[in-house]
Amino acid sequence: MAEAASKDQCTESETKESSEKSDILECAVCLQTCVHPAQLPCGHIFCFLCVKGIANQSKKCAMCRQEIPRDFIEQPNLLEKPQQTEVAEGFDGGYQWFYEGRNGWWQYDERTSRELESSYKKGERTCEFLIAGFLYIVDLENMLQLRRNDPSRRRKIKRDFATIPKKGIAGLRTDESTIDTSTESRNVEGRTEDNVVPITPSNTPQSPTSGRESPRDEQDIQATMERISSLQLNSAINEIDNSVESDQE
């Protein structure tokens, strides 16, 4: 009886382990566990950053070669959204790694952050990472990230508290980043840009917007018209005189 019970327990544990392994999604591009798994319309699943690299280069699925929709990177089908625990947790009491973006900072994905932290702790000056299909060199002394095949493509990085304002994680906006993005479209006075009336430069011709900006009275207009007509008459008379003189000659 005891042997049968132990066999049953072993079978259950093996079944549980196999089911857990089957639940782990592996990326066919980086050959690692999927980070922020994204499913394409064709059904294949990759890391979001791996899909981003494919979309920027071949624009086709790495498995079946089906075309990737143009708006997929902006509106990806994520099987697991970035969790708040991933946003809040950090190293050494709450530190995380960030890279500079437009109007804010992005947090590195979990895997890249761990590798950066490991190189940082070892005192390494530089390290290399494959991100979105490109190989990057990270200069930990000057806190810069450079693309290996194009060093001019660079951006600042930093190691800071995980709780600082951020745009999101690895190009994916988190729930807390929506507050910051909603205020980006507002000006200093707090009004949305749609409601702001642009100020016309002083050297730009303007059409009158009211009757008060029209000429003061009709006399000015009549005087102007008379000048124009007199000029036309004078020019006509001169032409006649010239033609008469030419005939006489």
Note the pLDDT tens digit of each residue in 234-247: 666 666 555 544 44
Instruction: Give the domain extent around 102.
Output: 84-180
Q: Is residue 88 part of a domain?
A: yes
- CA 224 remoteness from chain centre: 57
CB 131 within 8 A of CB 49: yes
Whole-number Cα distances in Å, 220 to 91, 212, 225, 234: 79, 15, 9, 21
CB 99 within 8 A of CB 157: yes
- Which residues of the chain carry a pLDDT beneath 70? 1-23, 81-90, 92, 175-221, 224, 228, 231-249
Domain count, the chain: 2
Query: Is 40 in the same domain as 116?
Result: no
Q: How far apart, in whole angstroms, are the C-alpha atoms of residue 123 and residue 33?
A: 27
**Chain segment 72-127, per-residue pLDDT in tens:** 988 899 887 665 545 556 676 789 999 999 889 999 998 999 999 999 999 999 99
Q: Is residue 41 part of a domain?
A: yes
pLDDT of the residue at 79: 86
Q: Is residue 229 part of a domain?
A: no
Q: How far apart, in whole angstroms, are the C-alpha atoms of residue 139 and residue 124?
A: 9
Q: Is 190 left (phi over 0), alpha (psi -120 to 50) or beta?
A: left
Residue 93's CATH number: 3.30.720.50
* CA nearest neighbour of 43 among 28, 14, 63, 29: 63
pLDDT of the residue at 2: 53
Query: Is 56 in the same domain as 91?
Result: no
CA 77-83-87 angle, 5° bins: 125
Q: How far apart, in whole angstroms, are the C-alpha atoms of residue 51 and residue 127?
A: 23
pLDDT of the residue at 11: 53
Q: How far apart, in whole angstroms, are the C-alpha atoms of residue 16 and residue 5?
A: 17
Instruction: Give the number of other Cβ atoms within 10 Å of residue 174's Cβ.
Output: 17
What mean pLDDT value characterizes the chain? 74
The residues near 160 (Cβ < 8 Å, ≥ 6 apart) are 95, 96, 98, 105
Residue 72 token pair: 């997929």
pLDDT of the residue at 41: 94
Residue 42's CATH number: 3.30.40.10
Last-in-domain residue among 180, 199, 228: 180
How many alpha carbons fall within 13 Å on the CB side of residue 180?
A: 15
